[in-house]
């Protein structure tokens, strides 16, 4: 009986477990995770912070699934060390997890830039249910919050705080919102829509320091102006978790280097999801992690499958605003493109050699999925 050990119960790890089970009914599939909650949707964490969903609503795999699939899930377990010769992982309490084949689905952590005051109380990032719980608790009775980073997650988390009755300011280093998903014109329309909802934006602004001794009292920008804040939420990107890969001595770059079969440079060791990069690419998005988990699981169980690049696409999940974008959005309008705009709609289709390579749909996202299907990665 083959023993499969999966570290991480996010979408990559859980999808891998499912793929393994489809091919190998008898093997022992074990998942370990530091978290206290079975596989849940990180995408829905802003809804949880807003109070519109509770933990049960965002859990994707309940206990029954693990029982039915005969997958052993170990919560609250931190793997500290792995011996690739003996093929055994060891947790913080000294418990051993022997394996024949290993998957590092260790995901990513929220990057917090080294800004003075970032260690002050009430400074957060949103990555896990535990983070969300801390944010919810700290947001009780406060008036002002500042989100640092005007990307998708920053805007969604900001909206969650807005729904809790808090005034939300967003500080963005670029001179427009969603610099990776929108061009200047699209961003201007989105900014207006969100200002109408109550957001306050500081664009082209850099955070100098976070003020306050024990708890946040304000955010000082490099212009010298200070934003009144009782809470700060960083949304300044993620970094792959590499600590176990480094201990194992497998090749790493920004993420764990894997081939299209999701194999690392270590024999019998696979990696997938936010932790892994294929051909130098890692978008750190859900569909990519899911597909890599699927491919890794198949190959771990003796099947044969290759990861094919995906077109990165994203939707802003803020009620009342329809926004989706995918592929190359042609920020500088250098490629062939068609634009359709009204006061409330901005649509841009980008083409290269006649083929669609990117799109922005703001105000009306009808047909988005169909357009993405026609795009090549």
Ligand X SMILES: Cc1cc2nc3c(=O)[nH]c(=O)nc-3n(C[C@H](O)[C@H](O)[C@H](O)COP(=O)(O)OP(=O)(O)OC[C@H]3O[C@@H](n4cnc5c(N)ncnc54)[C@H](O)[C@@H]3O)c2cc1C
Q: What residue ranges bind ligand X (CB under 6 A)?
A: 7-13, 32-35, 42-43, 45-46, 77-79, 105-108, 126-127, 153, 241, 244, 273-275, 284-287, 289, 314
Least separation in angstroms between residue 317's CB and ligand X is 6
Give burial (CB, 10 Å; 0-12/13-18/19+) of 53.
middle
Find out whether 375 and 326 touch, Cβ atoms under 8 Å.
yes
Least separation in angstroms between residue 118's CB and ligand X is 18
Question: Where do we find the tokens 């357009």?
Answer: 371
Q: Report the C-alpha gap between 294 and 305 in whole angstroms.
A: 9
Least separation in angstroms between residue 320's CB and ligand X is 17
Query: Closest CB to ligand X among 29 and 289?
Result: 289
Query: Closest CB to ligand X among 14 and 207?
Result: 14
Q: Report the C-alpha gap between 195 and 140 in whole angstroms.
A: 23
Q: Report the C-alpha gap between 175 and 181 in whole angstroms.
A: 14
Query: Closest CB to ligand X among 211 and 232?
Result: 232
Least separation in angstroms between residue 79's CB and ligand X is 4
Least separation in angstroms between residue 285's CB and ligand X is 3
DSSP result, 67-129: HHHTEEEE-S--EEEEETTTTEEEETTS-EEE-SEEEE---EEE-----BTTTSBTEEE--SH
Query: Closest CB to ligand X among 7 and 189?
Result: 7
Find out whether 62 and 38 touch, Cβ atoms under 8 Å.
yes
Within 13 Å, how many C-alpha atoms sit on residue 112's CB side?
A: 17
Query: Closest CB to ligand X among 167 and 313?
Result: 313
Find out whether 368 and 359 touch, Cβ atoms under 8 Å.
yes
Least separation in angstroms between residue 375's CB and ligand X is 16
Residue 74, classed as helix, strand or coil, is strand
Least separation in angstroms between residue 302's CB and ligand X is 22
Q: What is the CA radius of gyration of the chain?
A: 22
């Amino acid at each position: 009986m083959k023993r499969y050990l999966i570290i991480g119960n996010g979408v990559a790890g859980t999808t891998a477990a499912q793929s393994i089970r489809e091919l190998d009914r008898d093997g022992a599939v074990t998942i370990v995770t530091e978290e206290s909650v079975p596989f849940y949707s990180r995408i829905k964490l802003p809804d949880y912070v807003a109070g519109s969903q509770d933990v049960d609503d965002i859990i994707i795999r309940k206990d029954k699934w693990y029982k039915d699939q005969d997958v052993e899930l170990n919560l609250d377990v931190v793997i500290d060390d792995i011996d690739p010769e003996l093929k055994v992982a060891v947790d913080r309490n000294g418990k051993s997890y022997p394996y024949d084949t290993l998957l590092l689905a260790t995901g990513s952590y929220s990057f917090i830039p080294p800004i003075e005051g970032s260690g002050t109380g009430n400074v957060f990032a949103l990555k896990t249910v535990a983070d969300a719980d801390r944010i919810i608790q700290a947001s009780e009775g406060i008036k002002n919050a500042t989100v640092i980073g005007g990307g998708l997650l920053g805007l969604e988390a900001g909206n969650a705080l807005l729904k809790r009755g808090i005034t939300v300011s967003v500080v963005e280093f670029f001179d427009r919102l969603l610099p990776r998903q929108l061009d200047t014109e699209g961003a201007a329309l989105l900014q207006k829509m969100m200002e109408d909802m109550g957001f306050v934006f500081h664009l082209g602004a850099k955070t100098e320091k976070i003020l306050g001794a024990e708890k946040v009292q304000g955010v000082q920008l490099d212009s010298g102006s200070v934003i009144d804040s009782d809470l700060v939420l960083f949304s300044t990107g993620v970094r792959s978790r590499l600590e176990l890969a480094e201990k194992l001595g497998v090749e790493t770059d920004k993420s764990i280097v894997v081939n299209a079969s999701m194999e690392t440079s270590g024999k019998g060791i696979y990696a997938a999801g936010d932790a892994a990069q294929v051909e130098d690419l890692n978008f750190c998005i859900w569909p990519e992690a899911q597909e890599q988990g699927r491919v890794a699981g198949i190959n771990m169980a003796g099947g044969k499958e290759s990861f094919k690049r995906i077109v990165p696409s994203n939707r802003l999940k803020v009620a009342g605003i329809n926004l989706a974008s995918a592929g190359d959005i042609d920020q500088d309008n250098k490629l062939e493109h068609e634009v359709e705009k009204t006061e409330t709609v901005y649509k841009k289709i980008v083409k290269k050699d006649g083929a669609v390579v990117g799109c922005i749909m703001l105000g009306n996202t009808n047909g988005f999925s169909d357009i993405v299907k026609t795009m090549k990665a």
